Structure 1
C-alpha cells in the first residue's frame, strides 16, 4: 500500500509539473491585450466560473484584489438570478471554463454584451463558444489530467490558477504596486502593522502618560513608575516641555550611590534621552529600542512638549 500511495502521488505531481512547463510559452499577444484591457478599465474585474473553475476563480479574484486590481467573484448561476446587477458598463469580466461550453456563460454572454463590458476567457478550447464570444482568450489547455480517469480537473485546475497568478502579478508590476500599497490591502497582517502603524496610533496619551513635574521628588516619580508600569517617567517643566526621563535604571543607580528617595527627581533623571515623534513608524521605534537597548521613550510635539509615551510592549501588542 505504501508503494502504491507514493507512486500515485509522485506521478500526479510529475504530470502536473509537465503541464505547467508549457505555460510560459502562452504568455503572448492575447495575454498582453487582456492585461491592457484590465489596466484601462475604470471599473472592476468580475471573475466567474462554475465547479472547480469557480473555486479557482475565487482565488484569482482575491489575488487580483490584494495586488491592486479591484476584483470580486460572482457565481454564474447566481448571476442569472440577480447578481448580474453587480456588473456595470465599463467593467471587465473574466470567465473561466476549461471546455468553453458552460451553459450559464452562453446565457450570460448576450446580457454582458448589452452592458457593454470587456470579456476575457480562460479556456482550454480556443474554438469553443466561450472563446469565440470573448474579446481576449487565454489558453489553459493541457494534454492530460493527472486523474487516472482523465475526469477530475487536476492539471487544468493548476494551470488555470497559475495563469491567474501570472495575470495578477503582471498587472501588479504594470501598476507599480508597492509594498506600502500591499500593506494597505492587508492592514490586519504583520506587514500592514510594520508599514502602516505609527507611533501616534498606539502611544499612551492623556492620563496614561507617565510624567511628573520637574519639582517632584524621587518618591513621586517612583509612584508614577508603579502606576504606569512603563519603566520610564517623563520629567516636564510648567509648559509640559521635556526636561529628562527617570527610569528604573536611574532609580537603582541613585539608591546604590546612597541617594535618598526624598531627593529631587531632577538630580537622578537622565537629561539626554531618546525621544520619538508621532509620525514615526512603530517598527522604526522598535528598531531604535533594540539598538539603544531601551524599552520605552517619551513622544514629543515639534515644540518638545510631551504628548505621549510608548514602550516595546505597546508595539508588540499592535502586532509588530
Structure 2
C-alpha cells in the first residue's frame, strides 16, 4: 500500500484549509495515514456544507469501516477477482480531459444482469465487489490529486443500451439498487461529480419518476440524461474518445471510441441461488421475516459463548 502524502494546493482556499485542519483534529484518532489527505477531508466538508455536527459522526463511522475487516486502505492492492466482477465489469478508463479534473467510469447499466447478480450472490458479496471498484476509483483520484494539486472526481457514465422495462427493474430500483446508491452517498462523499445516462430509452421519464424520489437531493442534481438520438455526439463534448469504450463503435465508424473494456457476461439462470429454510434448517431453528425496501426489522437471539451465528 502506497501512502499518498498530504498535498496542500493553491486550489484550496484559506477558509477550506482552516476547516480541513479543524476536521483533521476532530477525527485524528480514527484517521489512517493512507486516507489522510486534504482533498479527502475536503470532500466531506463539501458534501455536508461544512456542518461539523453532521460530518464528524458520519466520517468517524466511515473511518471505522476502513479499519475493520474490510481493510479498505489496502483492498485496491489486490486483484479484481471477486466472483461478481465478471458479471459487473470495471469501466474505469482515464481522464475525461474535456471536463477538467475528471476521471471517466463507464458502467454497462443496460447490459448488466443485475437481477441475476442479486439472485446468484449474497448482498455482502455484491457489496464487497462494489467496494473494491469504489476504492479503485478513489485511489485513482488520490493519485491524480497528488500529481496535479487539484481536486478530482468521477464522471460516472451509465450506458443504458439494452435496458428493459419490467417489474424486476422497478423492484431493484426501490430495493437493492437504492441501498447501494445510499451506501455510496454515505461513504464516498463527493467522489462522483456527475451521473451521465447515455442512450436513454423512451421510457426513461417513467424510470426517472420512480428513481428520483428515492435518491438524495445532491445525487439528483448530478444526473445528466442523453437520449438515443444524439448521445454519441453529446458525450464527445464531455470526454475524449480515449476515455470512452470501443464497443460503442458502429460498423460505419472508423474507431471513434478507443477505450478497451471487457463486456459483462450474463448470469446463467440455472445457477441462481435457491433456498427453502423449511427444507435446509431443522424445525424451530428459523424465523421468517418480511422486510420492505428501506425498512428494518430484528430478531432476538440467545446464544452461548463461542457459538457461531449464521
For the criterion TM > 0.5, the same-fold answer is no
More helix by share: 1
- Structure possessing the higher relative contact order (Cα contacts under 8 Å, 6 or more residues apart): 2
Higher strand share: 1
- Category of TM-score, reference length = shorter chain: under 0.3
Structure number with greater Rg is 1
TM-score, normalized by length of structure 2? 0.21
